[in-house]
């Protein structure tokens, strides 16, 4: 192990250069003009996998951009890790807001600036270079490893679920590892153990066949916008608690252990409010800020429209009014069940003067990994050995739908060991990746293989 | 008087033909291409005024389309009527929905189909032909008459207020008469004695500097659409009563006499709801339907918008949300006072997490003529003599801003003696005017001059 870390330290400059080389490839999955770059990138990854000693390296076609796969399965009786990442990147517009060209990587201080540096090429290279260090110094890995890097994450992983289903046997594993999330703060490793789910619906109200003049009809008919605001105002009480009957039935409360861990994270409400230009924050009474964001469900109106939106005044009673609403869910809420409860509650509030139509748009389950899960604990030990700091236990307020897909099909816990930083500008100009995190990330994955190797299969 | 009515009957076919002739002129005020038609129309009206015996007939320039004016002031010690109407018409789009070309008048049964037939050329011709009948048979009028026909009613009478102010002495009168409203039902004459006013405002809420991702921020911040629906839902109680403090302070209740007259009008809520495709009607508890429409103020949200309105789902917490709201007012509510009360109430409801901006867009006073006003009573007698039916006492749920302008500047009651019908399609394809009403309308104005002539100056 000492030799492996020595190898990492001696080869770090080369590792950085190799990362820079792959960051020069503009593998933008969303833009058809970059189809050749996608193939170039996939080919470079396949070559790299072969070079570091992975077996069966191959480019597997999908109906979209291909998946690059390889495996190393020579550790009998040891657990198997399925390491997922993506080699496609976001578009670069507005390109004139970049301080340097997005595909001409530049190092400034500790940061490597390039599109894809944090999201996700820098993070998949952490795994490749950890494998290289193990195999170059010890000739073996202490675990079985499968690498699956897709090329469509930035366009919604549109073909990945089918791919996983079709290749479920090939992808079978004990743990799924994803490095594509940010740490909470610079210098402190983080592990993300929970994600929120989602239920998204649209509510359409119709009061009359056509728009009406508010002078000729006002006072006689119910206005569908008035009805809509009356209905939607009954979704939460003044304390921010959601009023849909049965809404909280399946919410897993956070444990005392989680509460202690969350309360260790620094969060300054005043600074945060200032950073987003909010006069004040607002959330469900009785919970800390980060609990509200990560471990409590929400109800938000994402869009509303009806009647006249132009300049000036038009005295119309519109025929229709519409709203898009969504609820962020937490484990173990079921999005279909929540959608049904929302529908039933809203239907009970529709006045007799309105026709309503409620569309369920889409949904996803929340996800949470047990903090006592041995794989997660192995990750914690590895991160703490490398970074020399206690791990931040994080959740994500949003959803990463592919996590739940992996968990359900592979039937394995998903460990989100991310090495980005909050100011990494993923999806924005001046995307950057911390070279300290790149180095410590590789070191932590070297330890992680060792820690996982100590677990029973 | 017998001779005058005989003259009307003998000349009615010619009257219809003359009306058809002016309906052929496409005097569309909104379309610059029709500027020459506007001048043609104004010239024809001036010629007609001279021909029937009016004095001082003239076309008076404004900054827009001209006003046509004439007077007959040879009845000393008699009241003076100022008769207002308009010679411009609405555009004709969608022209392919017309059964016959809009400027090629066609008679089918009792109806004359043409753009402008009801709104308002047919109705101003009623006055011209009544004057002709008086002067042709008796050589004098029993009242003083001033005719003022504008060419910009369909574009908001944009220069009329200035015109009235500048020519206030010329326009001085004891009563203002306008024939530009519909009767309530076929065969029954109507007189409109009340109009509603308006206060129109826009409410803008801002929660943050930019749109936020509902996963990354949901639970921490107040959503401005949620805040907007919570505020707007507090404008009315479940009985439809407006909750703005002091809102009803200046509302004139309808008199027992008015209530009796209103309750005589046939109004079938079920049929009416069906006609507009409403599952049911809704209005303020404790009032009859027509009272709600004509004599009670309202609160309507005329437009609302914020966040994502496109196809599909976008999990955004928008930075801003907006609504346009208006209140139909009744005498003696003051629109500026009501706007102020709305602002103060809304401001008391803004949560600390929101910045609000409330814009007063525009407003207008309601209007009501005393049912005992001698001019109105003269109109009632005249209408009942001509139509042989009791007059329907009507209010208008909307506003006719120029009524209040006349009332304030001329300092005279405004009598709305309209001869249109509810299905006249003003502003729509197949606009039409009842020839029965044209004939009876002229007869009623002949009597009206006589009835007014009996009043003291």
Query: pTM of the prediction?
Result: 0.90
Which of A235, A265, A293 represents a domain boundary (last residue)?
A: A293
Which of A344, A363, A382 represents a domain boundary (last residue)?
A: A363
Express each pLDDT in B120-146 by its tens digit: 999 999 999 999 999 999 999 999 999
- For residue A203, the enclosing domain spans 197-251+297-363
Three-class SS state of B405: helix
User: Chain A within 8 Å of B230 (Cβ-Cβ)?
Assistant: yes
The DSSP string of A141-193 is -SSEEEEEEES-GGGT-TTHHHHHHHTHHHH--SEEEE--SB-SBTTB-EEEE
Distance between CA atoms of B308 and A184, rounded to whole angstroms?
29
Question: Among partner residues A220, A296, A324, which is closest to B219 by beta-carbon distance?
Answer: A296
Whether A233 sits inside 8 A of B229 (CB atoms) is yes
What was the pLDDT predicted at B457? Answer: 62
Distance between CA atoms of A230 and A418, rounded to whole angstroms?
43
What was the pLDDT predicted at A456? Answer: 74
Chain A interface test: which of B229, B234, B358, B426 (most A C-beta within 10 Å): B229
* Same domain as B230, residue B170: no
- Residue B362 pLDDT grade (very low, low, confident, very high; cuts 50, 70, 90): confident
* Same domain as A157, residue A50: yes
Tokens read off for B172: 């001085």
* Same domain as A344, residue A258: no
* Same domain as B407, residue B355: no
User: Chain A within 8 Å of B304 (Cβ-Cβ)?
Assistant: yes
Domain at A353, CATH number: 3.30.70.360
H helix intervals, B120-268: 122-138, 160-166, 168-171, 214-217, 224-232, 256-263
Instruction: Please name the residues in contact with B425: beta carbons below 8 A apart, sequence gap of 6 or more.
Output: B118, B431, B432
H helix intervals, A318-419: 335-349, 374-387, 401-410
* Same domain as B140, residue B177: yes
Q: Comparing C-alpha atoms, which of A84, A99, A12 is closest to residue A431? A: A99
Express each pLDDT in B231-274 by its tens digit: 999 999 999 999 999 999 999 999 999 999 999 999 999 999 99
Instruction: Please name the residues in contact with B94: beta carbons below 8 A apart, sequence gap of 6 or more.
Output: B429
* Same domain as B213, residue B179: no
Distance between CA atoms of B151 and B298, rounded to whole angstroms?
32
b/e per residue B101-113 (b: at least 16 CB within 10 A): ebbebeeeeebbb
**Residue B48: inside a domain:** yes
**Residue B141: inside a domain:** yes
Residue of A nearest to B316 (CA): A302
Chain A interface test: which of B285, B302, B403 (most A C-beta within 10 Å): B302
Backbone angles phi, psi at B363, to 5 degrees: -160, 165
Question: Among partner residues A219, A233, A312, which is closest to B230 by beta-carbon distance?
Answer: A233
Three-class SS state of B126: helix
User: Chain B within 8 Å of A275 (Cβ-Cβ)?
Assistant: no
Domain at A133, CATH number: 3.40.630.10
Average pLDDT over residues B286-307: 97
Per-residue pLDDT of chain A (457 residues; tens, 9 = 90+): 899 999 999 999 999 999 999 999 999 999 999 999 999 999 999 999 999 999 999 999 999 999 999 999 999 999 999 999 999 999 999 999 999 999 999 999 999 999 999 999 999 999 999 999 999 999 999 999 999 999 999 999 999 999 999 999 999 999 999 999 999 999 999 999 999 999 999 999 999 999 999 999 999 999 999 999 999 999 999 999 999 999 999 999 999 999 999 999 999 999 999 999 999 999 999 999 999 999 999 999 999 999 999 999 999 999 999 999 999 999 999 999 999 999 999 999 999 999 999 999 988 999 999 999 999 999 999 999 999 999 999 999 998 889 999 999 999 999 999 999 999 999 899 999 999 999 999 999 999 999 999 997 6
**Residue B166: inside a domain:** yes
Distance between CA atoms of A152 and B397, rounded to whole angstroms?
58
Whether A221 sits inside 8 A of B328 (CB atoms) is no
Distance between CA atoms of A444 and A415, rounded to whole angstroms?
14
**Number of structural domains in chain B:** 2
Distance between CA atoms of B295 and B368, rounded to whole angstroms?
10
- With a cut of 70, say whether residue B413 has pLDDT above it: yes
Residue of B nearest to A305 (CA): B305
Helix (H) / strand (E) element for A21: namely helix A2-23
* Same domain as B182, residue B96: yes
What was the pLDDT predicted at B449? Answer: 98
Q: Comparing C-alpha atoms, which of B297, B299, B302, B267 is closest to residue B281? A: B267
* Same domain as B206, residue B77: no
Which of B329, B364, B399 represents a domain boundary (last residue)?
A: B364
What was the pLDDT predicted at B456? Answer: 74
* Same domain as B411, residue B323: no
Backbone angles phi, psi at A194, to 5 degrees: -150, 145
* Same domain as A314, residue A282: no
Tokens read off for A357: 């139509």
Instruction: Please name the residues in contact with B62: beta carbons below 8 A apart, sequence gap of 6 or more.
Output: B152, B159, B160, B162, B163
Three-class SS state of B32: helix
* Same domain as B255, residue B128: no
Helix (H) / strand (E) element for A395: namely strand A392-396
Backbone angles phi, psi at A246, to 5 degrees: 80, 5
* Same domain as B250, residue B175: no
């Amino acid at each position: 192990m000492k030799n492996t870390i020595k190898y990492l330290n001696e080869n770090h400059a080369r590792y950085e250069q190799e990362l820079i080389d792959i960051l020069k490839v503009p593998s933008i999955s969303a833009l058809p003009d970059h189809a050749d770059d996608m193939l170039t990138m996939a080919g470079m990854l396949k070559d790299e996998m072969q070079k570091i000693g992975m077996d069966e390296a191959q480019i597997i076609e999908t109906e979209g951009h291909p998946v690059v796969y390889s495996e190393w399965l020579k550790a009998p009786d040891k657990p198997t890790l399925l390491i997922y990442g993506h080699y496609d990147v976001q578009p670069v517009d507005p390109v004139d807001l970049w301080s340097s060209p997005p595909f001409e990587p530049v190092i400034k201080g500790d940061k490597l600036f390039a599109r894809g540096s944090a999201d996700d090429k820098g993070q998949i290279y952490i795994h490749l270079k950890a494998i290289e260090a193990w195999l170059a110094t010890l000739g073996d890995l202490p675990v079985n490893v499968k690498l699956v890097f897709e090329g469509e994450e930035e366009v919604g992983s549109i073909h990945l679920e089918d791919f996983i289903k079709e290749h479920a046997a090939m992808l079978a594993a004990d743990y799924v590892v994803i490095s594509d999330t940010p740490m909470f703060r610079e210098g402190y490793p983080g592990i993300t153990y929970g994600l929120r789910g989602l239920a998204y619906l649209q509510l359409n109200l119709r009061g009359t066949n056509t728009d009406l003049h508010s002078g000729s009809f006002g006072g006689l008919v119910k206005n569908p916008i008035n009805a809509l605001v009356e209905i939607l105002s009954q979704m939460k009480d003044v304390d921010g608690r959601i009023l849909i009957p049965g809404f909280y039935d399946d919410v897993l409360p956070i444990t005392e252990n989680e509460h202690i861990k969350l309360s260790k994270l620094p969060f300054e409400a005043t600074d945060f409010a200032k950073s987003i230009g909010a006069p004040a924050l607002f959330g469900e009474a009785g919970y800390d800020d980060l609990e509200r964001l990560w471990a409590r469900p929400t109800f938000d109106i994402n869009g509303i429209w009806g009647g006249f939106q132009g300049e000036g005044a038009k005295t119309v009673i519109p025929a229709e009014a519409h709203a898009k609403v969504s609820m962020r869910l937490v484990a173990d809420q079921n999005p279909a069940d929540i959608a049904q409860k929302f529908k039933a509650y809203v239907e009970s509030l529709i006045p007799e003067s309105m026709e309503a139509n409620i569309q369920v748009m889409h949904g996803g389950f929340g996800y949470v990994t047990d903090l006592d899960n041995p794989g997660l604990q192995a990750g914690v030990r590895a991160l703490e050995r490398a970074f020399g700091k206690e791990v931040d236990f994080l959740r994500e307020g949003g959803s990463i739908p592919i996590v739940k897909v992996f968990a359900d099909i592979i039937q394995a816990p998903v460990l989100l060991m991310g090495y980005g930083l909050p100011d990494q500008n993923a999806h924005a100009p001046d995307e950057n990746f911390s070279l300290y995190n790149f180095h410590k990330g590789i070191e932590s994955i070297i330890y992680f293989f060792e820690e996982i190797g100590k677990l029973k299969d």
